[in-house]
Amino acid sequence: MAESPTSGAGAVLRAFLLAGAGLGAILVALVPGGPVPQSWAMPDLLYCLVVAWVVRRPETAPFWLIFLLGLTADLMIGRPVGLGAILLVLAAEVFRSQRRTVLEGGAVAEWIAAGTVFALILGAQVLMLWITFANLPALGELLRYGIVTVAVYPIVVLVCHGLFRLRPHLPAARVVMPGGRS
Amino acid sequence: MALGNMSDGGLWQTTRRVLLGLMILAALALFAFWRADSPRIERLRMQLTDMIAPSFDWTVRPFAGLVRMVEDFESYTRVYEQNRELRRELQRLRGWREVAAQLEQRNARLRALNNVRLSPRLGFVTGEVMADTNSPFLQSGLLNVGQVDGVVDGSAVVDDLGLVGRISGVGAQTSRVIFLTDLNSRVPAQVRPSGLRAIVSGDTSVAPRLDFVDAIDSVSAGDRIVTSGDGGVLPPDLLIGQVVFAPDGRLRVRIAADYRRLEYLRVLKFGPDAPLDGPGELIVPRDRSAAAPVEN
């Protein structure tokens, strides 16, 4: 799976780091006595992590690893099995192809993009559940879940930035316009 | 060789796309399978949990300890108010204790007079909550007791105040509790004192709905809700909570169990009585015993 010949061992190491961080995100969501049914829902940390990672270092986040992480989260946290994983992979693919636009737009644009895609994911999940006659979660609860996740996204980005030294790395293939720099 | 490299990249791109397509198909198939046959997926989930559970000791637990410490500190700052509150409550409860003691004595006397045979007592096993999930799609907890401790699917789980949920998914060492607030939780209940039957159905909000109540007029806010035992899964007469009226006029349940402090939970071992599902074969003559079920 030599995706990018330029990285080599570093890419493999980073992929391991992503796997570890992803498992960590799943475990944090399982901590008892954290946010309880009474208060706010637990944010989807794995989604934030994967998006932040893919936007910054897409070559170190292979899609099968994201799928495996998503599937583990589905089974452990109890989202619709299979659906959560594939939507996570598709979201990662969207960000992978649009990362240049997202990064050049600045931090706020990235935040908005992450939020929009998460809303789409939730919508798709509810739609699939509705199609298959499952019980649907309360709208207010979904809304809170979305808001909490979006609110947590910058924190995850900062953690990635500080802890994992995850810096955006844009190949200089395209000539950046002089005005776009400032 | 540059050309070869290029085609290599192109080949990888194509393979990647095909793999992605296959992945989507596999995930959708898995989703369909989950919707159609969720017990099998549930078993898979419990196997995975059983595998990961030992690592909870050094991953989830320190976190949980930290969270509890913060919570305890918060309650420490309110210690004065709490003290007064507790004293008031203690006074009220002393009165109740007296009443309860008297009732118990009277009950015992009446039973002795009646020669009542009680149903076998409930057994229970206590487990610790290792992890909990709190997403809009699943609200459940993970207990550190499982098959080896005699936990079976469908057992009622209570804390010291009331019903918390029921077991759904048993591993060798762990089991999963579906909370009353979960999307798929449906518990047959009885409203006291009117005796009306109802279903407590969770919808991820804090207070589950009270569905299928016959006569809403005879239910008032504050009525106690207990399990009815219908269906033979949960034992009867476990406290669920109290009736509250939602702003939209629907009935909801304020749960008695304290979901904010779920640490140790009891899993009740409840064997329903032997079912009577036919006429006594000895008394009914032979030719009629075949016709009897048809008449019913």
Find all residues with CB under 8 Å of B11, minimum gap 6, and list them: none
| Beta-bridge partners for B226 | B190, B239
B161: nearest Cα among B293, B259, B65, B275: B259
Sign for the pseudo-dihedral over CA of B83, B84, B87, B93: negative
Find all residues with CB under 8 Å of A113, minimum gap 6, and list them: A95, A98, A102, A105
* Residue B7 pLDDT level (bands cut at 50, 70, 90): low
Determine contact: A91 vs chain B, CB below 8 A: no
Find which of A66-75, A173-182, B213-222, B230-239 is predicted with most confidence, using mean pLDDT. A66-75
B241: nearest Cα among B158, B156, B162: B162
Determine whether the interchain pair A80/B34 forms a contact, defined as Cβ–Cβ distance below 8 Å: yes
Determine whether the interchain pair A145/B44 forms a contact, defined as Cβ–Cβ distance below 8 Å: no
User: Mean per-residue pLDDT for A98-120?
Assistant: 91
Sign for the pseudo-dihedral over CA of B57, A159, A46, B180: positive
Q: What is the dihedral of CA A128, A130, A133, A137, to 10 degrees?
A: 110
Determine contact: B59 vs chain A, CB below 8 A: yes
Condensed to tens digits (0 to 9), the pLDDT of residues B8-17 reads 678 888 888 8
The H-assigned helical ranges of chain B are 2-36, 38-56, 60-77, 79-114, 286-289, 292-295
* Residue B296 pLDDT level (bands cut at 50, 70, 90): very low
Determine contact: A93 vs chain B, CB below 8 A: yes
Chain B 217-246, residues with CB within 8 Å of chain A CB atoms: none
The H-assigned helical ranges of chain A are 9-29, 45-56, 63-73, 83-97, 99-104, 107-131, 139-163
Question: Is 0.90 exceeded by the ipTM?
Answer: no
Condensed to tens digits (0 to 9), the pLDDT of residues B215-272 reads 888 888 888 999 998 888 888 888 999 999 988 888 999 998 888 778 889 998 877 6
* Residue A177 pLDDT level (bands cut at 50, 70, 90): very low
Please give, rounded to a whole number of angstroms, the shortest distance from the CA of B187 to a CA of chain A: 15
Q: Left, alpha or beta for B229 (phi > 0: left; psi -120 to 50: alpha)?
A: left
End-to-end C-alpha distance for chain A, whole angstroms: 38
